[in-house]
Amino acid sequence: MKVWSVARSKRVLQCVSLAVLLCLTATVLLPVSVRAEEDNSLFSQLRLKKRGVTQPATTGHGMGSGIPATTESRIVNDGSVAAFITPDSPAQIQAMADKYAKIAAAGGWPEVPRGRIKKGSTGNQVASLNQRLYVEGYLQVEATQGEFQKVFTSATEDALKRFQVNHGLAPSGVIDAVTLAALNVPAQQRLATIKANIPRLAEYSKDLGPRYVVVNVPAQQIETVEGGKVYSLHNAIVGRPSRPTPVVMTPLTIVRFNPYWNAPPSIVERDIIPRMQSRGASKVLADMNVKVFQGVGGPEVDPDKINWRTAKIADYHFRQEPGGDNAMATAKIEFTSPFGIYLHDTPEPQLFRTANRFYSSGCVRVDKVAIMLEWILQGQDGLNAAKIAELAQSQERLDVNILNAPQLRVAYLTAWPAKGGVAAFREDVYEMDGTGFVVGQPLPVGEKQAGQRFVLKPIPYLQQDIDTNDGGGFLAALFGGKSARDQEVKPGQNKRAGDSLINLGGNPAKQASVNTASKTSKANGPATGKRFLFGSSKNSLAADPGATASKGPKKKTVQKKGAKPTATTAKSPAKPAAKTAAATSKTKAAAKPATPGKKPVSTTAAATPAAKPAATAAAKPDKAAKPAATAAAKPDKAAKPAASCKPGSGGKLPAGCPAPKPAAATMPAKPAAAAKTATN
């Protein structure tokens, strides 16, 4: 026994030693990944900046897709690039439709077999590629005949590069997987895409004027155009599929140099105040370059003299001052729009070097914005390139009303005429082709309102919502950590819970309860400032996740199976049987259960015009409240005298009596005032 105990002790010591060794190894190895996580946080980034060190951003939505961009921002101004939109676009896109219709009618183009081929390659795959490029118009017929038929020549390489550019791919001149997939999209499908863009180009080309800016959302690019020629190209960051960028046709109005960024209450509460409590309010805010005011427009306050554990956030205004870390960075370009979006700079220029830049919540971030600003302002008020650079350096606040303002087209083009008699194509990222969409606000992918994938007249964003949306870059670059990552969505990821233009609430149950208890005019989300974006207060979409929008201007809410109408909470279970029978006789026709095609019972009293306070409902049961007792399929049973189903001496009910419902048995009678609150 003693020998066994000694041996066992040795084994324990060995295990402990191994565990210690592993811990020491982890201590040596883990800091790399830990620092990578830590360096994305607000204060680590700020410390690195003070030391002159920059941390490369490689992961996360705020850090880019990790795939290199296939386009670049630059001044063109030589006529080598066809503009997305010109006054001639309607005629040109119709010509494209006629051409591709003939190709489709003739059987389309051949499929290119798999295999990585490049210049100098030979064989049947090259022959298929040459024929494919010829049919669409990228190659001359000579490339498909004689000695060149099966040879990947310089002409083939040039044609393939032009094809890649026109499809938003890297112009490598090599057949890779994405290029092969684009080559093998059927001609009939390309024709359908062209047809979807005919009405768009017809509308977008109206009243362009001599100078205009085009943001092509599917292409994630911006063009400035003057005299029919593209002056500059800019990579853009646009709305993710769950928060699409709307289509806008309007002139530009104002340039705001070094604008403020107003931190929304949600970010203040979730991200800023916890750090202030743990690390000191004034230190945290100084590092962030944020000032606190007693309400919007009020005097500045000393953050160290406020108890942030008990303070009401709505009483304070957190404003980030101009500077390199400002969410708007050096400039913001505004225009009149019902959608509340704008163009702006970003403190995260590295994102423009990545592909699939569908990162934002609707607004458009502009790469090399100084080039665009100089072109827009044309030297007015002495604002030339040198002055613009000086403003960015000095961080001086300056608002400039644009003279001779160019037109703006925030467009949704998945096909448009390119040079050489061919069409350019982009992915239908918002899934709007085939829906009739031309202008307005696309709904999040997978969502509809009244059977439509878009709306024309949404309620504009609130200012705090705009600032929340476009603080995404600020959060990703500075905050990091779980809280900031929750604000961001990687390209290709599913949207966050509640990340919807229809219902932006985070907790569906909480959202529904708040909407029920709030006044109709303010039923736009939780009290924390979240809201509905579309619809008026009367016709807004249902907050209840179990509800569906009706096909028409009037809102309907579907009651979940087995759920009691809210009106029943105002009804006391102790009412006499005679009153119950009387109420039943008056509501016999209205007391039938909801069936498909008929107006269902609403569970959201605030959003239902017919809903009335409990006192009114009791007086007029045929018009408002539908008691649970009378809502059964057979109202004659509901009118059964209560005395016949009283428990006997043993506590058992007589035969044939229904078992009592626990909720109804335990729920106390609510006063009329409580029911009235739920309808306000």
Q: Tell me the C-alpha distance between 269 and 183, whole Å.
A: 50
Poorest-pLDDT segment among 117-131, 203-217, 543-557, 661-675? 543-557
Contact between 125 and 115 under an 8 Å Cβ cutoff? The reply is yes
Q: Tell me the C-alpha distance between 247 and 204, whole Å.
A: 10
Closest by CA position to 355, among listed 67, 41, 51: 67
The encoded tokens of residue 590 equal 């209205």
Poorest-pLDDT segment among 2-6, 264-268, 533-537? 533-537
CB within 8 Å of 110: residues ≥ 6 apart: 128, 131, 132, 135
Element (H, E) at 290: strand 290-293
- Average the pLDDT over 239-263 and give the result: 94
The encoded tokens of residue 500 equal 């919807």
What is the structure's pLDDT at 327?
83
What is the structure's pLDDT at 530?
32
Q: What's 299-320 look like in SS3?
A: CECCHHHCCCCCCCHHHCEEEE
Place of tokens 């590295």: 350
Q: Is the pLDDT of residue 439 over 50?
A: yes
Contact between 417 and 89 under an 8 Å Cβ cutoff? The reply is yes
Cα dist. 319→47, 113, 272, 298 in Å? 21, 58, 12, 12
Q: Is the pLDDT of residue 165 over 60?
A: yes
Q: Is the pLDDT of residue 477 over 90?
A: no
The encoded tokens of residue 131 equal 């024929």
Q: Is the pLDDT of residue 541 over 90?
A: no
Answer with the residue of higher pLDDT: 569 or 424. Answer: 424
Answer with the residue of higher pLDDT: 499 or 252. Answer: 252
Q: Is the pLDDT of residue 223 over 80?
A: yes
Q: Mapping DSSP to helix (H, G, I), strand (E, B) and coil, where does residue 221 land? A: strand
Q: Is the pLDDT of residue 214 over 90?
A: yes
Q: What pLDDT band is residue 654 in, cutting at 50, 70 and 90?
A: low
Q: Tell me the C-alpha distance between 299 and 319, whole Å.
A: 12
What is the structure's pLDDT at 441?
95
pLDDT digits over 360-373, tens only?
A: 989 999 999 999 99
Cα dist. 532→305, 437, 502 in Å? 36, 22, 6
What is the structure's pLDDT at 488?
38
Answer with the residue of higher pLDDT: 74 or 577. Answer: 74
Q: Is the pLDDT of residue 490 over 80?
A: no
Q: Is the pLDDT of residue 300 over 60?
A: yes
Residue 77: left if φ>0, alpha if ψ -120 to 50, beta else—which one?
left
State which of 270-284, 366-380, 475-489, 646-660 shows the largest mean pLDDT: 366-380
Cα dist. 304→266, 282, 291 in Å? 21, 6, 12
What is the structure's pLDDT at 166?
98
Q: Is the pLDDT of residue 30 over 90?
A: no
Q: Is the pLDDT of residue 51 over 80?
A: no
CB within 8 Å of 8: residues ≥ 6 apart: none
Percent of the chain with pLDDT over 90: 51
Q: What pLDDT band is residue 324 in, cutting at 50, 70 and 90?
A: low
- Average the pLDDT over 98-114 and give the result: 97
Q: Is the pLDDT of residue 626 over 80?
A: no
Closest by CA position to 565, among listed 663, 450, 645, 680: 663
Q: Which residues face 263 on adjacent strands?
A: 318
What is the structure's pLDDT at 38?
24
Answer with the residue of higher pLDDT: 81 or 611. Answer: 81
CB within 8 Å of 43: residues ≥ 6 apart: 275, 279, 284, 287
CB within 8 Å of 568: residues ≥ 6 apart: 625, 627, 628
R_g (Cα) of the chain, nearest Å: 32
Instruction: Specify the DSSP class assigned to residue 324.
Output: T
- Average the pLDDT over 134-161 and give the result: 96
The encoded tokens of residue 558 equal 């579907």
Q: Which long-range contacts (CB under 8 A, 24 or more apart) does 503-506 make?
A: 503/532, 503/541, 503/542, 503/543, 503/545, 504/530, 504/531, 504/532, 504/533, 505/530, 505/543, 506/530
Distance spanning both ends of the chain, measured CA to CA: 79
Q: Tell me the C-alpha distance between 32 and 571, whole Å.
A: 63
pTM: predicted TM-score of the whole model, two decimal places: 0.63
Q: Is the pLDDT of residue 46 over 70?
A: no
Contact between 245 and 358 under an 8 Å Cβ cutoff? The reply is no
Answer with the residue of higher pLDDT: 118 or 488. Answer: 118
Distance, C-alpha 359 to centroid of its chain: 8
Q: Tell me the C-alpha distance between 437 and 248, whole Å.
A: 13
Place of tokens 């959060």: 475
| Rounded (10°) CA dihedral 446, 452, 458, 461 | 10
Cα dist. 375→82, 179, 224, 233 in Å? 19, 35, 8, 12
> Beta strands 248-257 and 331-335: pairing type?
antiparallel
Q: Where would I find the H helices in 68-186?
A: 89-105, 124-136, 154-166, 177-183
